[in-house]
Structure 1
Amino acid sequence: MEISWEQSVRYSINTIYLLFSAYLVFVMQLGFAMLCAGSVRAKNAMNIMLTNVVDAVVGSISYYLFGFAFAFGDSSNPFIGTNFFALKDIPNASYDYSFFLFQWAFAIAVAGITSGSIAERTQFSAYLVFSFFLSGFVYPVVVHWVWSSGGWLSSSSSSNLMFGSGAIDFAGSGVVHLVGAVAGFWGSFIEGPRVGRFDAFGKPMPMRGHNATLVVLGTFLLWFGWFGFNPGSFDKILVAYPSTTDQGNWTAIGRTAVTTTLAGSTAGIVTLFGRRLLVGHWDALDVCNGLIGGFVAITSGCSVVEPWAAIVCGFCAAWVLIGLNILAVKLNFDDPLEATQLHGGCGAWGLIFTGLFAKEEFVIQAYNSGVSGVVRPYGLIMGGGWGLLVCQVIEVLVIVTWVTVTMGPVFYALHQLGILRIPIDEEIAGLDISSHGGYAYNAHQEENQPRFYADYMRMQEQS
């Protein structure tokens, strides 16, 4: 099929924009790696870095072999893609290589969220199993429901929109973050807390990460990558709006970047002051977690809300995070990176927020190319009725249910087989020396290896 010069130029610009966005999202893997490494104790730094690399590597293979087809393989099936088709690098293909790469960058981020929840006490072989299954099957099915044009929850379907709306999860507060968080919750719950995290009376004991510099570096890398995560989800920048004063998707891309920035910044500063009131000192790590919580929350509605609403989103996200962290401690739930609370709580809030504050004009821009005369539900507080909010609540519920009935049994089976949690003596010595041949830092190894190694060998002899 021949295409015109104008079509060729449009396809080229869209492809460049989408690939650049994919590269930005991929940079987030480095951000996750730095954040995770700084948030764990030095004796486990090598392990957490390796798991972040493995999440990307294993996720790449599983998503190529199975995941992309389950997500986008057959738009006529509302529940799962079944057509394992070949990608084609042509403008009129349903999905081309650039779209695959962008979606792949999202897929490998999900397992990284889960890895943070079960850090410092998990066998390396378990990472290989759950990462492959999560990236290759569990996550893609949710993608098909919400992002495929034929998905039963999709807001971009040409017909049969649920409640006339479908769920708006523009860049994945639920599809990406809530999925990874629920999986991480079950892994962490089944494993139990790290040794020493709570004393015999259930009192929490401090286990701070070893390197705040890496945490801050990782946070800024995630912030940078989020400009591909959210604005990049306008996967075609050149889409003409036929009957409005706007000229195409690029009119909304800048606004999406602004709402992302405002939500994250608001959540960061509110978390800083909120934690200052609770613990009595300023903590850079609180700002970092608050920032990320705000980004997670706005990811659902970034393209369909006003900038002032993004500030409301970030403000509430900060208190959701603070409240869930307090609850986690009271319940003796141990998530070293607060991934369940942050990605799960703030992700769920982001979906509800969209159902409350989505603006009709922006919804039509994002999902109907700005066509005039289109009527569809929008935010409840903005006067758009209950339809969108109900769809958002349904998305939260079905994601929690789906990930629970799939990943819960996987983690339980790994636990029963004895390949989920490492032995206590190895956990005390540190995963780096017990599983990876040495520490990540030479100075730490020279200073502490004799003591840790002696403890490790003594426990081995006693067992």
Structure 2
Amino acid sequence: MNIMLTNVVDAVVGSISYYLFGFAFAFGDGSNSNPFIGTSYFALKDIPSTTYDYSYFLYQWAFAIAVAGITSGSIAERTQFSAYLVFSFFLTGFVYPIVAHWVWSSSGWLSPSSSELLFGSGAIDFAGSGVVHLVGGIAGLWGSFIEGPRVGRFDAFGKPVEMRGHNATLVVLGTFLLWFGWFGFNPGSFDKILVAYPDSTDQGNWTGVGRTAVTTTLAGSTAAIVTLFGRRLLIGHWDGLDACNGLLGGFVAITSGCSVVEPWAAIVCGFVAAWVLIGLNILALKLNFDDPLEATQLHGGCGAWGLVFTGLFAKEEFVIQAYDSGDRGVTRPYGLLMGGGWALLGAQVVEVLVIVGWVSLTMGPLFYGLHRLGLLRISVDEEVAGLDISKHGGYA
């Protein structure tokens, strides 16, 4: 009941928060807009209809509410519901939209569509490895760290105690639903799908849509296979839930560069993403860090790798397709390992660093303040009884 309610809250509270504040902070282009924050005008009504319409708001809202959902996994099973309402509203209405403005608004200082490109390139984060997943992962990192592990997660000697999820069927079902949804997340991020390329009327931005779906599929599939076999070597048996998390880790990583890399590069992306996830999970246990859904490791770690990956493997032709509508004679920085120099990789690393810094400076104090006020974590007795029975009137 608790987890289902938090997912509903992500949608309903996120709707109001993003309508009142978030969308304007992210994409507002009024007189107060600048490279660091959009217009502070109140509500969607102040966004010029000639620039964005209501469907664009709804599309961006879907990205926004995903961020809070990521963070909720890190603080699951031990968080007061009132604290969840506070952080979900703040994250969706302010913290995430600022990052979205930096990278996705045409006036953002990190944007690859800006008139003043960082390092002559801008950071390529096509569908949000950094903007969505790294933001949610770092917020979850601070929430989980400040709350501390669940009761019983580690024994008196600091050794991890296995706490299995109770419904693997729903995990697998949710994984397939996310796989389907990612085809809207990544291929759907082409803003103007029906734009024809100059001097090539038989091609347009739609040529990248299919490729983006393929790279997404290959990265996720590779990560799932590698995670499955890697974990088999480490724990001695096949684990379907590990494969599910590996699949999602591959999707998270490819989300940044899905439109600008070759399919073979997507396989490289998924292969490394699997080991990033496995390695960070091992490190988390050694540090007694308890993230029930591995959200910090999966979304934060694989999201950061995805940004770096794009700086290494982006292909110039595809960068021009995605960000210059295939214009002839345009040159842009592209992947370092593809011969494109250091500019794009530098911009990608800057995005990683500023997201980690911004989210830490905003969400860290918020979680700490809630903790000091006694509003963050439930009591030990309530946690042992279970949030469903202690806070929500019964089991699902």
Range of TM-score over shorter length = over 0.9
Tell whether 2:99 aligns with 1:155.
Answer: no
Deviation string 1:329-377 (CA, Å, 9 cap, x unpaired) is: 0000000000000000000000000000000000000000000111110
After TM superposition, the runs of 4+ consecutive aligned structure 1 residues lying more than 4 A away are: 85-88
Tell whether 2:43 aligns with 1:115.
Answer: no
Residues 1:395 and 1:91: Cα distance change in structure 2 (over 3 Å): closer
Deviation string 1:61-119 (CA, Å, 9 cap, x unpaired) is: 0000000000000275100011537758x997100011111000000000000000000
* DSSP 3-state at the match of 2:172: helix
Q: 1:317-336 maps to which residues of 2 (within 5 A)?
A: 317-336=273-292
* DSSP 3-state at the match of 2:78: coil
Which of 13, 30, 34 is equivalent to 1:77? 34
Whichever of the two has the greater Rg, that structure is 1
Report the equivalent of 1:6. Answer: none
CA distance in 1, matches of 2:110, 2:236: 45
CA distance in 1, matches of 2:48, 2:327: 23
Which of 164, 176, 201 is equivalent to 1:220? 176
Q: Which runs of 5+ in 2 are unaligned?
A: none
CA distance in 2, matches of 1:209, 1:390: 40
Tell whether 2:70 aligns with 1:105.
Answer: no
Deviation string 1:392-430 (CA, Å, 9 cap, x unpaired) is: 000000000000000000000000000100000000000
* DSSP 3-state at the match of 2:337: coil
8 A contact 2:111–2:122 mirrored in 1: yes
Tell whether 2:8 aligns with 1:68.
Answer: no
8 A contact 2:20–2:43 mirrored in 1: no
Identity %: 87
Report the equivalent of 1:135. Answer: 92
What root-mean-square deviation, in Å, do the aligned CA atoms of Structure 1 and Structure 2 show?
1.4
Which of 341, 350, 356 is equivalent to 1:385? 341
CA distance in 1, matches of 2:206, 2:13: 34
8 A contact 1:244–1:371 mirrored in 2: no
Q: 1:221-370 maps to which residues of 2 (within 5 A)?
A: 221-244=177-200, 247-370=203-326
Deviation string 1:198-250 (CA, Å, 9 cap, x unpaired) is: 01110000001001100000000000000000000002211121134752111
Q: Look up the equivalent residue of 1:155 and give its one-letter code.
A: P
* DSSP 3-state at the match of 1:247: strand
Q: Look up the equivalent residue of 1:61 and give its one-letter code.
A: I
CA distance in 2, matches of 1:244, 1:298: 28
Q: Number of matched residues?
A: 393
Q: Which runs of 5+ in 1 are unaligned?
A: 1-45, 441-463
Q: Look up the equivalent residue of 1:236 and give its one-letter code.
A: K
* DSSP 3-state at the match of 1:292: helix
* DSSP 3-state at the match of 1:381: helix
CA distance in 2, matches of 1:79, 1:392: 17
8 A contact 2:24–2:44 mirrored in 1: no
Report the equivalent of 2:2. Answer: 47
Deviation string 1:111-165 (CA, Å, 9 cap, x unpaired) is: 00000000000000011000000000000000000000010000011x2101110
